[in-house]
Amino acid sequence: MPFIRILLTGIAKLLSKVFSMATLTFFGRIPTQDSSIISFMGIASLYWLYIAASVLFPDLAEMFIPFIPDDETLIRIISIALAILLPLSVGFASTKIENRDKDFSFVKQLLMGFPYSFILGSLSMLLVVIIPLLKLPSLLKMHRQEQFAIMIRKGKYDKVLDEITSILKDYDLHVSIHDPKKPVWYCFVVLSFVLEHIFNKKISKKMNYINVEIDNETVEVTIHATDISILGPKNEVLQVKHILSEELKPEHLFFSWDDSVQQIEDEINQLNHKVEKGESFEWDKLQDITARLRRSSLENEDWNAIRRQIYKLERDYYQITK
């Protein structure tokens, strides 16, 4: 019995890792204020697919709807009701997203739950099939995956790609850029469509891989509009992440999705431009930015990413004023 329990625990952890890797490949790290809502939308959409199937095949309903009566007519009625209510609940959940423009049509967003449910449900099933197959070598090698939650500024994707490539080359690392495999890219484009409508933000459909050769190992850096993902052996992955953490600048991207925090990042960027020109600025301005960031509701890693930019700004400020 203990052996079976250990085996089941191992399988559960493996499935969790597979689904996590699949989700991160497409979505990146969702804004922390909205992660629970997005998770609900994904689970409800996946469940909706099975409910929709049980409308056509009532025998399936017993597997997916608990305590359902053994009556085919009632089964169809309940299945049809759930097939309508679940997408509406998905649409309603999308109206509660924090990081979206508040100027939207409630009724339209409610009805958008139907395409959301179909797309998210269908692709959620594909996620755990396509991505594990493509990432199987990495899974077998127990590679590590690290993320940067970002939002690339409109029209700046190519500049961010060039900046990351240049940073890595400056550390004498060999890099090569590759396009994603077609199945991954198609899924990514469709999911980007959903994210655009959920968050009411224009999202670039570009996606590239950068292979980084470091200490005779290969690290894969995936870049798309809302995420930088680093996959490979643990030590090398952390080394690449530390390099990018130190060197990435907020000129062409945001380190948060939250609109109020993005305003803070814009102000940091403006002060950076002043320092680069050798100009000083009022120290109170930087203290105000720091205080506002402290009051934000960011998770620790997102907060640290922006706080690092303030530390760099403080360092550069002292260099021009000493």
Cα–Cα distance for residue pair 33/16, rounded to 1 Å = 22
Q: Which residue has the higher pLDDT, 198 or 233?
A: 233
Query: pLDDT band at residue 1, thresholds of 50, 70 and 90?
Result: very low
The strand order across the sheet containing 227-232 reads: 144-149, 227-232, 217-224, 207-214, 174-178
The per-residue pLDDT for 97 is 79
pTM: 0.71
Q: Which residue has the higher pLDDT, 94 or 259?
A: 94
Cα–Cα distance for residue pair 304/299, rounded to 1 Å = 9
Least confident of 128-137, 204-213, 224-233: 128-137
- CB-CB contact of 293 with 256 (8 Å): no
Task: Using the structure block, give the residue that is written with the tokens 């679940």.
Answer: 86
On the question of pLDDT at 68 being above 80, the answer is: no
The per-residue pLDDT for 76 is 80
Cα–Cα distance for residue pair 153/213, rounded to 1 Å = 28
Cα–Cα distance for residue pair 287/294, rounded to 1 Å = 11
Strand runs labelled E in 171-259: 174-178, 207-214, 217-224, 227-232, 253-254
On the question of pLDDT at 15 being above 80, the answer is: no
Model pLDDT for residues 286-301, shown as the tens digit of each residue: 899 999 998 887 777 7
Across-strand partners of 207? 224
Task: Using the structure block, give the residue that is written with the tokens 């497409």.
Answer: 26
Q: Which residue has the higher pLDDT, 8 or 321?
A: 321
3-state secondary structure 259-290: HHHHHHHHHHHHHHHHHHCCCCCCHHHHHHHH
Question: How long a stretch of residues is the chain?
Answer: 322
Model pLDDT for residues 220-261, shown as the tens digit of each residue: 998 988 888 898 888 999 999 999 988 888 889 998 877 778
| Sequential DSSP letters for 53-110 | HHHH-GGGHHHHSTT--S-HHHHHHHHHHHHHHHHHHHHHHHTT-SSS-S---HHHHH
On the question of pLDDT at 135 being above 90, the answer is: no
